[in-house]
Each structure stands twice: as structure tokens, then as C-alpha cells.
């Protein structure tokens, strides 16, 4: 059963449930994400629908500017101390990463999740994931200029530039240092955080064309609200989802300087009946 947006108690209960980690597996990855941001866009559902399997997922809908819209988000961050903590805890990696995803509802469970268009990764680790697990990750070169002021509890500088054949990007964000509040389309902070900031199941088309999925966990995020001074992502122009003008005017931007993260591996084929 799909959760109704008016059921505030259900959102709070699910959010607390998602904050409880599950038992660790042998291949699970632990990492600390730094310079984490959620750059959210409202997009007409008719544009998203052809990109997401209709027989498997509904597109989450939100009333924004009087219209029922879908949402997608760009999620840049820097992985630090990325490690298979049970298999090889001494082997650690650091690299920049950006996820591109849309918000969906799993028709089999009624749960909110995300559909991944793909990911750019600034490390040769990307080739392992592509060849072994067929994850739609793509190599990129990053320039990261992010400086957090712990006294003011905000970023003095947040800027990234990404060079990739799959998605070029340039963005500069201004951090208000103020805690996020419910944005248009959401009736409560719990609802907004559950759907936008705390999805735990991700789905995607593998590089071999088969459906894939993986699960994650992360701690509660202390998010501040941001604004954009520059935003461009070539992927959305190529897919016809956003114009250059629309990219510069997101629905919302949330920022967190640090969040601990667990990725439950290996990814699975999404063949649940």
C-alpha cells in the first residue's frame, strides 16, 4: 500500500525505522561522505515516465506551483575512507562521486525509493564496479573546492567541476547555515527527509540491460539549506528533462558536511516477484 502524504505519523515511523542499520555482510562498504549535497528539481512526470520502468515503479508525485510533479536530485559528495571493512579494512579509497536519481514508489512494497540514471566517479574503482557488477557508473575527473567553517556551521565555499563523457557538470552553492524546513510539495519535515534524504533502496538498469538494485544505510543527516549561484548538468539537457535555465533554478538544495554511510554489497538483480 502506498503511503499517503497526509499520514505524518507513518512518515515519522518509517524514518526512524530507516535510521536503524541492519546486520553487516562480508562485502559491505563503509565510507564517510564529505561535502554532501542534494540538489533537487521538480520535473513534469511525463518527461520522467519514459525513463523509468512503468510496470515496476510509480513516480512519486508532489504538488508544486499547483501542478503534480515528479522530482529528481543530483547528489555530489566526496567518499573518504571507503573500505570493505570486514573483508579488507586496511584497503581504503577516497574519491569524488555524484549520483543522479529520480524519486519513485516500489509497486511491490509501496515504499519510496530512488531510480538511478547513473553515477560519475573520480576513481579507477569505477571499472571494477562496471565489469563485475554491471553498475551504471562512469569515470569522471573532478575539481573540488569545498571549505567548511566549523565555527559558523556553514560552507564558506562549495564548488565542483566535473568532466565526463557521460555527464559534464559545474556548480557553485551558497550555504545559508540554517537548518532545512519543509519545502513546497511536502507537508512535514519528516516526510521531506524520508523521501528526499533517506531512501534506502536504489534501482537501475545494469550495463547489460538487466534490472538491478542495491541497498544503503546512513545516519541522520544534519542538513542546511543552500542556494545556487551556478548549476549545469549536461545529462539533463541531453535527456530533455531540464533546460539550462531550469537547471539554475532548483526546487531546493540541502547540504551536510559529513555523513557516515554503509553500502550493502554485492548489488542484486531486481527479480523479486
Residue 3 covered by a domain = no
Q: Is the pLDDT of residue 230 over 80?
A: yes
Q: Average pLDDT over the chain, rounded to whole?
A: 92
Tens-digit pLDDT profile for residues 78-123? 999 887 766 666 677 899 999 999 999 999 999 999 999 999 999 9
Of 46, 103, 112, give the one whose Cα is nearest residue 73.
103
Per the domain annotation, does 272 fall within a domain? no
State the Cα–Cα distance between residues 57 and 104, nearest whole angstrom.
6
Euclidean distance between CA atoms 40 and 38, whole angstroms = 6
- The enclosing domain of 100 has a CATH number of 2.40.400
86/267: higher pLDDT? 267
Distance of CA 120 to the CA centre of its chain: 12
Domain that holds residue 79: 8-20+27-266
What average pLDDT does this structure show over 42-62? 97
- The DSSP code sequence of 203-254 is EEE-TTS-EEEEEEEEPPP--EEEEEEEEEEHHHHHHTS--HHHHTS-SEEE
Does 92 map to a domain?
yes
Report, as an integer, the average pLDDT of 34-44. 98
Distances (CA, A) of 66 to 69, 184, 221, 233: 9, 10, 29, 26
Q: Is residue 271 part of a domain?
A: no
1, pLDDT greater than 50: no
Question: In sequence order, what are the residues at sequence separation of 6 or more whose Cβ sits closer than 8 angstroms to the Cβ of residue 34?
Answer: 77, 78, 80, 146, 257, 258
Total count of domains within the chain: 1
Looking at residue 4, its pLDDT comes to 43
Amino acid at each position: 500500500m502506498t503511503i499517503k502524504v497526509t499520514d505524518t505519523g507513518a512518515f515519522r515511523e518509517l524514518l526512524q525505522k530507516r535510521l536503524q542499520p541492519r546486520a553487516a555482510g562480508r562485502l559491505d562498504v563503509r565510507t564517510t561522505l564529505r561535502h554532501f549535497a542534494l540538489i533537487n528539481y521538480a520535473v513534469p512526470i511525463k518527461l520522467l515516465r519514459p525513463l523509468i520502468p512503468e510496470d515496476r515503479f510509480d513516480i512519486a508525485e508532489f504538488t508544486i506551483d499547483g501542478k503534480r510533479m515528479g522530482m529528481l536530485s543530483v547528489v555530489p559528495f566526496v567518499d573518504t575512507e571507503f573500505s570493505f571493512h570486514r573483508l579488507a579494512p586496511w584497503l581504503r579509497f577516497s574519491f569524488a562521486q555524484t549520483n543522479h536519481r529520480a524519486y519513485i514508489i516500489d509497486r511491490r512494497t509501496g515504499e519510496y525509493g530512488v531510480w538511478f540514471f547513473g553515477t560519475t566517479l573520480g576513481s579507477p574503482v569505477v571499472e571494477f564496479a562496471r565489469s563485475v557488477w554491471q553498475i551504471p557508473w562512469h569515470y569522471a575527473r573532478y575539481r573540488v573546492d569545498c571549505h567548511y567553517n566549523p565555527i559558523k556551521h556553514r560552507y564558506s565555499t562549495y564548488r565542483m567541476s566535473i568532466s565526463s563523457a557521460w555527464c559534464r557538470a559545474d556548480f557553485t552553492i551558497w550555504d545559508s547555515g540554517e537548518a532545512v524546513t519543509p519545502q513546497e510539495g511536502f507537508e512535514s519535515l519528516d516526510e521531506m527527509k524520508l523521501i528526499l534524504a533517506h531512501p534506502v533502496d536504489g534501482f537501475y538498469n545494469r550495463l547489460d540491460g538487466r534490472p538491478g538494485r542495491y541497498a544503503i544505510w546512513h545516519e541522520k543527516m544534519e542538513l542546511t539549506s543552500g542556494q545556487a549561484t551556478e548549476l549545469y548538468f549536461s545529462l539533463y539537457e541531453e535527456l530533455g528533462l531540464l533546460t539550462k535555465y531550469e537547471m539554475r533554478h532548483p526546487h531546493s538544495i540541502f547540504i551536510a558536511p559529513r555523513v557516515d554511510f554503509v553500502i550493502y554489497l554485492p548489488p542484486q538483480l531486481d527479480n523479486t516477484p
